[in-house]
């Protein structure tokens, strides 16, 4: 871990995961799975690089690291940012499934996997905006 640990403060999930390098590895494993998923792939642009960079910034702050996303893009308003896309409960589950697989592939500790997935479940279901 590259970040210095202040012994006065409890470690953030971001630090426990392994900081910047670990978030980047996770996101780089996640999007190829998303792109290959029949329910999710069609929603995303072919040039996935900019989406990956935004997700790295967002997950960094979501898990208690520096506020990279808000510093650059303002208030996350993530539900609003997802409104242009038809997000069904099936797509929310598929997104979480790809994230779980990416966590396994990158060798994240099982306890951290469960913790992160639990934290992501609320937002994923909150972004559902279509229930056909």
Question: Please, are residues 113 and 65 in contact by the beta-carbon 8 Å criterion?
Answer: no
Residue from 45, 74, 110, 132 touching ligand HEM (CB under 6 A): that is: 45
Minimum CB–partner distance for residue 44 and ligand HEM (Å): 5
The dihedral over CA atoms of 66, 71, 77, 83, expressed in degrees to the nearest 10, equals -110
As separate numbers, helices (DSSP H) first and strands (DSSP E) second, the chain gives: 7, 0
**Cβ neighbours, 10 Å, residue 48:** 16
- Kindly state the tokens that stand for 74: 């303002």
Q: Which stretch binds ligand HEM (CB under 6 A): 3-11, 17-25, 38-46, 104-112?
A: 38-46
Q: Which stretch binds ligand HEM (CB under 6 A): 2-10, 15-23, 25-33, 39-47?
A: 39-47
Residues that bind ligand HEM (CB under 6 A): 40, 43-45, 51, 54-55, 58, 62, 73, 78, 81-82, 85, 87, 91-92, 95, 120, 123-124, 127
């Amino acid at each position: 871990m590259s970040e210095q640990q202040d012994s006065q403060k409890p470690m953030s999930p971001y630090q426990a995961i392994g900081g910047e390098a670990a978030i980047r590895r996770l996101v780089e494993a996640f999007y190829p799975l998303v792109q290959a998923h029949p329910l999710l792939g069609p929603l995303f642009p072919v040039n996935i690089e900019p989406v990956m960079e935004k997700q790295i910034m967002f997950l960094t702050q979501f898990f208690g690291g520096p506020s990279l996303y808000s510093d650059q893009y303002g208030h996350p308003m993530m539900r609003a940012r997802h409104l242009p896309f038809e997000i069904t409960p099936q797509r929310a589950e598929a997104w979480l499934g790809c994230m779980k697989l990416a966590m396994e592939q990158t060798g994240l500790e099982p306890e951290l996997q469960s913790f992160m997935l639990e934290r992501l479940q609320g937002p994923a279901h909150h972004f559902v905006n279509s229930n056909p």
